Amino acid sequence: MIDAAIVKKIDKIIRENKKFVITTHLNPDGDALGSEVAMAEYLRYLNKTVHIVNISETPKNYSFLDENQEFIHFDKEEHEQLLRSADVFIVLDISDWGRLQDIGKIMNESQAPAICIDHHHVNYQFADVDLIREEASSTGELLYEFLEKVKFPFTLRAAIALYTCILTDTGSFRFSNTTSRTHLVASKLLKYDIDTKEIYSLVYEQNSPAKMALLGEALINLHYEFEGKLAWFALTKEMFDKHHASVWDTEGFPEIPRTIEGVEVSLMFTEIDEADIKISLRSKGRIVINQVAQKFGGGGHHFAAGAQVEIPLNELVPQVLEELGRVM
């Protein structure tokens, strides 16, 4: 359960102030953007002035969250004054000053208090008031509980935004962060008139034709090693050029070979340039692979890791396979 004292402290700051700036991390995802919208809805319900200012642009598949076109893509010259005049900053889905970049710097210099709501692990005080709960599937799940506690009569837009947070951060309720509580919050949100099929389609069914062609090439060029326990493929610069595809089009690809029977680890090479290769490793959950990524100067979690290496593809492949041989 969330700490009642912190909820009270945050709501006191909110009620005593007028001008709010909400922000989130670089390259925002569904949880980041959805949380911003839900918080903005609450602040507007309290008749506050709200600006959502992000360091990155909004990815196209989340533009449906921005029906009022209020997401501001931060430009120092244009928006520094807006930030400096804020009474309160609300930072969502992030508790790391670095990933806030220029916005973080201005916040740090400002006298205005910062409130942080997040579900990522941190071992330091980040903002003036931190509401952090790692057990929450998503910032959206945690924010729902906060908003329920402060008796916000959820708007449909807020419900859609929070549902999007949970849907995306749990991979449609299938990642291990999905708990009984996560489903309970989803159950409450679905009491509003949310078109879940439409949201799913808007978020996940926006693949480019280039992405499909690139995936096709990847799948017909799958290699199997270690008695089928490893499946790997490489996306070459030539393949990107041929299909007019970009690195953005590879989203989700590293997971795909892992869905093959018997495959425990999947490995993807992305040739950004001749001697600039991204390595992406995914494990089904029995073989730990982040130390392999570390050998190549990268890192990550036990079952999802990566690195970026300045070695040509044909030299790199045998090196990575050799390292993987030690853990397979």
Residues near a second copy (CB under 8 A): 167, 172-176, 178-184, 186-191, 196-198, 200-201, 204-209, 212-213, 215-222, 224, 228, 231, 256-261, 284-285
Q: What is the side-by-side strand order in the sheet with 265-273?
A: 223-225, 230-235, 265-273, 276-283, 304-309, 299-300
Answer yes or no: are the C-beta atoms of 275 and 311 closer than 8 Å: yes
Q: What's the closest the beta carbon of residue 140 comes to a second copy, in angstroms?
A: 14
**Which CB atom, from 156 or from 275, has the smaller least distance to a second copy?**
156
Q: Which residue has the tokens 């959206």?
A: 140
Q: What's the closest the beta carbon of residue 303 comes to a second copy, in angstroms?
A: 10
Tokens, residue 165? 């947070």
Tokens, residue 152? 């916000």
Q: Which residue has the tokens 């670089």?
A: 26
CB count in 10 Å sphere of residue 314: 8
Tokens, residue 34? 């959805």
**Which CB atom, from 88 or from 162, has the smaller least distance to a second copy?**
162
Q: What's the closest the beta carbon of residue 172 comes to a second copy, in angstroms?
A: 5
Answer yes or no: are the C-beta atoms of 76 and 7 closer than 8 Å: no
Phi, psi of 260 (to 5 degrees): -85, 135
Angstrom CA distances, 74 to 58, 101, 140, stand at 11, 10, 23
Q: What angle do CA 117, 120, 122 make, to 5 degrees?
A: 95
Q: What's the closest the beta carbon of residue 221 comes to a second copy, in angstroms?
A: 8
**Which CB atom, from 285 or from 297, has the smaller least distance to a second copy?**
285
**Which CB atom, from 259 or from 319, has the smaller least distance to a second copy?**
259
**Which CB atom, from 69 or from 180, has the smaller least distance to a second copy?**
180
- Cα(first)–Cα(last) distance of the chain, in Å? 40
Q: What's the closest the beta carbon of residue 238 comes to a second copy, in angstroms?
A: 14
Element (H, E) at 22: strand 19-23
Q: What's the closest the beta carbon of residue 145 comes to a second copy, in angstroms?
A: 14
Q: What's the closest the beta carbon of residue 166 comes to a second copy, in angstroms?
A: 10
Q: What's the closest the beta carbon of residue 207 comes to a second copy, in angstroms?
A: 5
| DSSP state for residue 12 in the 8-state scheme | H
**Which CB atom, from 146 or from 233, has the smaller least distance to a second copy?**
233
Answer yes or no: are the C-beta atoms of 165 and 24 closer than 8 Å: no
Q: What's the closest the beta carbon of residue 2 comes to a second copy, in angstroms?
A: 18
**Which CB atom, from 161 or from 186, has the smaller least distance to a second copy?**
186
Which of helix, strand or coil describes residue 63?
helix
Tokens, residue 174? 């299938």
**Which CB atom, from 38 or from 40, has the smaller least distance to a second copy?**
38
**Which CB atom, from 190 or from 275, has the smaller least distance to a second copy?**
190
- The sign of the torsion formed by the CA atoms of 37, 43, 47, 50 equals negative
